[in-house]
A and B are shown apart, each in its own frame.
Chain A
């Protein structure tokens, strides 16, 4: 097919854009698509290349699968909404432009610069047997024997410690999305609402939140997908006490050296991420009669 026909086919009068895109496309193909396809293949094919579901069967019978699924969902279900509310409160506060609000915003986003494993270790040093919490309680005379906060007798404590650590670490991700979204809302709308007699709560509910929807949507998608994949904080705080899907994938690879099982968990995670993204897109779809910016 000569150049002219190709151009007619693509509806363009020059092939230059495609040539310019070609290197990026090849790069993505080699370093992104090819490993992705191979990894998915690992979950469905044996070493001999035979298609099989045995790894998924093994997954469902795995000792930790049930708990991993449960804890992953629980963590996401609790952390994401709480973070959304916290981030919204902070964003609204910062948006009032009080003296020092920029500095306050910078402080709130500091955890963004910390690797999640480091964040987990920071909180471990608080809750560990000889950690800050125990030392503080001991020196205040509240306890006279160190408490084993992180122990298999106290799984629910470990769970809530993970919630707290994640909340501390990742609220900033949601926050920056919401702050950016808030700043895009023209002050005219709010002034008009105020003039028309809307009280602060009504302004929030009927003006700010609807206009913030795109920012909330993108923040939720990002945060939820990251939350489903969370494992560094979980492992740092509790080892294998609170199993999560990504953690199990990691242990299958690093401890038991089974690439197939690790890939199987990873494929499950990928499927869950896709389903949740679709759900968000459906939930936040533009409804008839709403003004779209």
Chain B
């Protein structure tokens, strides 16, 4: 008797679940930490459910189970996942299971340059949702020394050099800062910013004449960088102490300067070189698997997550920056607003060259870039083409051995 009651109750419960509100399942490698997952369920998703009546089951997943599950569902031809969120690397490995989402309406304006990053093979594999990046922070005191005709929202490296030189000539101080300590992100600056800006690529033109020009330029620029730079891992402290007026670093390592002295700093895009404005974007996006049971509602979620309101919520919740241009203006005033303005300006600049962080080849490649930097810039040796050729060969071998293709922008 008792057993039958339990079975009946189970059937009743199941039918409520099945025939209840429309539900979609969202599998994501992002927002995995407990606090972030809580925030997604309690803060980010409720407005969407309220608006559209669609319930979302958020499942945070580690990279390996994420890939396994999507590939398995694609192989079976039948899936339970409606929408996925992941980094560009996650999509690269599950691309065969993804559908073309170029027809999905997005909630805000995403620049074509950014949208293009979601293209893999011949399809739009994912819609960009949020980005992390590195940019420049400027103390307003430095604006008085800006060279004629330079616009801080679209500086070139030559203008940056002239600016730093001007400050040095007028004040006798080296106020430019690029973190060069052992725990710094100098390697990112070299492979993701300098190389694409001067040569157009991260790897392909490592040892090209354009690279030689670039290294000679860096040697010249380094004269105006604060001599304590090789001891800095993070630029927020030198900015706050006034040792540096123009700094380059990751948004997370600049943020404290904006938080503490909001009115003193502005965040601007990194400079552009002869080949374009190279910058790194750590991009996370939203995709719909081919086997998604409920594509319509999944599309609604994507539209919501790319709308300015949700983009601002994501920035405040997890510190990843928006991709929708309207969002930058909608961020409440404060450190995040200033940073968001710089991030959006960098990402949507007409000469933007977005680079991805190399994946699948470990971390040894960083030493190739930083050793070259140490040799030519810190130790001051003459730019030696043979050394560049040797280093370039070693770098390409790393990709070859790992069987990994070069990252954007090399894989255009």
A54 interface residue (CB < 8 Å to B): no
Tell me the complex Cα distance, A170–B282, Å: 45
Name the interface size band of chain A. 20 to 34
Nearest chain A CB to B362 CB, angstrom units: 5
Contact B231–A153 (Cβ < 8 Å):
no
Chain B residue at minimal CB-CB distance from A251: B182
Provide the residues of chain A in CB contact with B35, threshold 8 Å: none
Interface centre among B172, B182, B374, B378 (most CB of A within 10 A): B182
Tally A-B pairs: CB < 8 A.
Answer: 50
Interface code A61-77, partner B: CB below 8 Å = 1, 0 otherwise? 00110000000000000
Compute how far the CA of A210 lies from the CA of B181 in the bound complex, rounded to whole angstroms: 48
Task: Name A153's closest neighbour in chain B (CB-CB).
Answer: B227
A229-255 contacts to B (CB < 8 Å): 235, 238-241, 251, 255
Asked whether A257 is an interface residue with its Cβ less than 8 Å from the other chain, the reply is: yes
Which residues of the other chain, A, contact B182 by a CB distance below 8 angstroms?
235, 239-240, 251, 255
**A257/B364 in contact, CB under 8 A:** yes
Q: Are A255 and B241 in contact, CB atoms less than 8 angstroms apart?
A: no
Chain B's interface size range is 20 to 34
User: Is A12 in contact with chain B by the CB < 8 A criterion?
Assistant: no
Task: Verify A129–B367 contact, CB threshold 8 A.
Answer: no
Q: Is the CB of A257 within 8 A of B230?
A: no
B228/A151 in contact, CB under 8 A: yes
Digitize B382-395: 1 where CB-to-A-CB distance is under 8 Å, 0 elsewhere: 00000000000000
User: In the bound complex, do residue A257 and residue B374 qualify as a contact, i.e. CB atoms below 8 Å apart?
Assistant: no
Judge whether B333 is part of the interface by a CB distance below 8 angstroms.
no
- Knowing A63-B375, A152-B378 are in contact, say whether A129-B363 is a contact too (CB < 8 A): no
**Set of chain A residues within 8 Å of B181, measured between Cβ atoms:** 239-240
Contact of B366 with A by CB under 8 A: yes
- Using CB atoms, name the residue of chain A closest to B233: A239
- Can you list 20 A-B pairs, Cβ within 8 angstroms, ordered by A? A63-B371, A63-B375, A129-B228, A145-B172, A151-B231, A152-B378, A153-B227, A238-B231, A239-B182, A240-B181, A240-B230, A241-B230, A255-B182, A255-B366, A255-B367, A256-B363, A256-B366, A256-B367, A257-B362, A258-B364
Residues of B within 8 A of A (CB): 172, 181-183, 226-228, 230-231, 241, 243, 362-364, 366-367, 371, 374-375, 378
